[in-house]
Amino acid sequence: MLIAANKAVSIDYTLTNDAGEVIDSSAGGAPLV
């Protein structure tokens, strides 16, 4: 995917700690835009 001026980018994410526990996630919600 090319990212350029006047384009929107969305990111789905899952943030985990060192133990592998999920701290935050976009699953089931809106992605970052």
pLDDT for position 15 = 95
Per-residue pLDDT of the chain (33 residues; tens, 9 = 90+): 788 999 888 888 999 999 999 999 988 887 677
DSSP character string of 1-33: ----TT----B--EEE-TT--EEEE-TTSPPB-
Provide the Cα torsion 9, 13, 27, 18; round to 10°.
-170
Residue 10 has which token pair? Answer: 């969305």
Backbone φ/ψ region at 19: left (φ over 0), alpha (ψ -120 to 50), beta: alpha
